[in-house]
């Protein structure tokens, strides 16, 4: 029996994700799909728009067999840490045959060639990267410029600089390259497979077409909040049209009970945390340089909302997403000590089960038989577990639940009270 792994955020789950699961199984011949999914916070440094258990339920209803949670220190990390943390978890399971991911490029050979160079980081490439960073470029731009310059001088790839530029400008390609780097670092036997992204672009804000992007759906949900009817209930039919049929009931039953959740819902919590920090204490947190810490303190009195503050302190060479990740790390207390100095050393100390299809319990049996890390189905503390990583995750989710229950006036349930999702056939 073959198993394909998929790394995802499902923020929120939509038709394109259902297509990905179906296509991944089809092209690999896999009998099951294991999803490594971000929990209540995602890689761009914001809370997920829906709680993780809802997104798990949707994924299971649309073809996934098992959903495991990516620890929050990796889920909110840079693309490199996000990818390596997730791939290391798939590798640790010991039973995954394939890793299938979407990409704008759609050609595994080209992506692998780029990943091989970036994985080895030749000395000349490092010099070029530092040059472009010193010239004031943000890291993504500096990496692209350095790579193209390196390519022009060494002629080591089969593709032309214009192709490289387009590839390194595309979000899914960038993540694909990070997945391939992680597989190399881990010397993994998992076979990578890519599917060409179809439908709307990653950043497309327009609903409609073959598959609307998650960005468009999040924007659509935010727009709904401004167009409530006389009963203060937004119209959502245009959103439902972009979701798989199997998700409609889950969506309608939980809408305005536990979602949507936005970054600005965390504004007061973040402001309170910033008020007790100094320039020195801020630099303890993941991703925060002395320069970013200085800007946070300088503009702290101008704080209005989470999103407004990101806009306020971003710069030409520090992107909005980087600032957002910094702020979420401050809020959740994620420090530089919580991840390895080098992304290549990223590892997950456990596999936390969020949900599974009961008819596919053989997948769980296979995981438990082959894995070298604890599998958590209940929040007990088995021997050998990374307690700090788990407790950090519990705190982050309890904080998320506090915001949700305050916003929608619903009963509070902490992580210990929540059950894993068991989907019956």
Digit-coded pLDDT (tens) for 120-167:
888 888 888 899 888 888 888 888 888 888 877 776 666 666 677 788
> What's the average model confidence in pLDDT over 253-266?
97
**Structure confidence at residue 381 (pLDDT):** 62
**Structure confidence at residue 382 (pLDDT):** 61
Q: Report pTM.
A: 0.93
Q: Write out pLDDT tens, residues 353-365.
A: 999 999 999 999 9
> What's the average model confidence in pLDDT over 259-270?
98
**Higher pLDDT pick, 116 / 290:** 290
170-184, 231-245, 360-374, 398-412, range with the lowest pLDDT: 231-245
**Structure confidence at residue 194 (pLDDT):** 97
Are residues 177 and 115 in contact, defined by beta-carbon separation less than 8 angstroms?
A: yes
Above pLDDT 70, what percent of the chain? 93
**Structure confidence at residue 386 (pLDDT):** 77
Read off the tokens for 282. Answer: 């801020």
Residue 16, pLDDT > 70, answer yes
Residue 203, pLDDT > 60, answer no
Q: Write out pLDDT tens, residues 2-11.
A: 999 999 999 9
**271 — pLDDT class (breaks 50, 70, 90):** very high
**81 — pLDDT class (breaks 50, 70, 90):** very high
**Higher pLDDT pick, 210 / 123:** 123
Spell out the SS3 assignment of the chain. CCEEEEEECCCCCCHHHHHHHHHHHHHHCCCEEEEEEECCEECCCEECCCCHHHHHHHHHHCCCCEEEEECHHHHCCCHHHHHHHHHHHHHHHCCCCEEEEEECCCCHHHHHHHHHHHHHCCHHHHHHHHHHHHCCCCHHHHHHHHHHHHHHHHCCCCCCHHHHHHHHCCHHHHHHHHHHHHHHHCCCCCEEEEEECCCCCCCCCCCCCCCCCHHHHHHHHHHHCCCECCCCCECCHHHHCCCCHHHHHHHHHHECCCECCCHHHHHHHHHHHHHCCCHHHHCCECCCCHHHHHHHHHHHHHCCCHHHHHHHHCECCECHHHHHHHHHHHHHCCEHHHCCCCHHHCCCCCEEEEEEEHHHHHHHHHHHHHCCCCEECCCCCCCCCCHHHHHHHHHHHHHHHHHHHHHHCCCCCCHHHCCCEEECC
Q: Write out pLDDT tens, residues 349-401.
A: 899 999 999 999 999 999 999 999 999 998 876 666 778 999 999 999 999 99
**Which of 56-60, 209-213, 231-235 tops mean pLDDT?**
56-60
Above pLDDT 90, what percent of the chain? 72
> What's the average model confidence in pLDDT over 292-305?
98
Q: Write out pLDDT tens, residues 47-59.
A: 999 999 999 999 9
**Structure confidence at residue 146 (pLDDT):** 87
Residue 228, pLDDT > 70, answer no
């Amino acid at each position: 029996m073959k198993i394909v792994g998929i790394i995802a955020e499902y923020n929120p789950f939509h038709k394109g994700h259902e297509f990905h699961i179906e296509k991944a199984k089809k092209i690999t011949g896999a009998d099951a799909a294991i999803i490594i999914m971000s929990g209540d916070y995602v890689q761009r440094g914001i809370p997920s728009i829906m709680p993780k258990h809802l997104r798990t339920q949707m994924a299971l209803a649309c073809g996934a067999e098992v959903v495991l949670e990516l620890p929050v220190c990796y889920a909110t990390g840079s693309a490199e840490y996000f990818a390596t943390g997730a791939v290391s978890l798939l590798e640790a399971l010991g039973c995954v045959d394939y890793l299938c991911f979407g990409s704008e490029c759609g050609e595994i050979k080209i992506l692998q060639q780029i990943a091989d160079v970036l994985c080895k980081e030749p000395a000349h490439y490092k010099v070029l990267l530092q040059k472009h960073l010193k010239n004031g470029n943000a890291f993504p731009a500096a990496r692209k410029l350095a790579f193209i310059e390196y390519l022009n001088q060494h002629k080591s790839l089969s593709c032309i600089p214009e192709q490289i530029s387009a590839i390194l400008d595309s979000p899914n390609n960038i993540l694909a390259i990070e997945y391939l780097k992680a597989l190399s670092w881990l010397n993994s036997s998992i076979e990578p497979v890519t599917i060409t992204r179809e439908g709307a672009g990653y950043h497309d804000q327009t609903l409609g077409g073959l598959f609307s992007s998650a960005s468009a759906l999040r924007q659509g949900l935010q727009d709904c909040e401004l167009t409530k009817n006389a009963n203060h209930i937004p119209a959502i039919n245009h959103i439902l049209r972009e979701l798989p049929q199997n998700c409609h009931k889950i969506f309608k039953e939980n809408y305005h009970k536990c979602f949507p959740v936005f970054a600005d819902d965390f504004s007061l919590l973040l402001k309170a945390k910033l008020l007790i920090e100094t320039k020195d204490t801020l630099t303890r947190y993941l991703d925060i340089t002395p320069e970013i810490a200085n800007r946070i303190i300088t503009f702290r009195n101008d704080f209005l909302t989470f999103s407004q503050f990101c806009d306020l302190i971003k710069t030409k060479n520090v992107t909005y997403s980087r600032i957002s990740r910094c702020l979420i790390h401050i809020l959740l207390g994620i420090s530089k000590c919580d991840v390895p100095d080098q992304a290549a050393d990223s590892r997950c100390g456990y596999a936390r089960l969020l949900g599974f299809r009961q008819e596919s319990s053989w997948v769980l049996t296979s995981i438990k038989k082959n894995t070298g890390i604890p599998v958590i189905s209940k929040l007990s503390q088995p021997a050998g577990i990374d307690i700090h990583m788990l407790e950090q995750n519990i705190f982050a989710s309890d904080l998320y639940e506090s915001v949700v229950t305050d916003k929608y006036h619903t009963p509070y349930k902490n992580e210990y009270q929540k059950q894993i999702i068991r989907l019956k056939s």
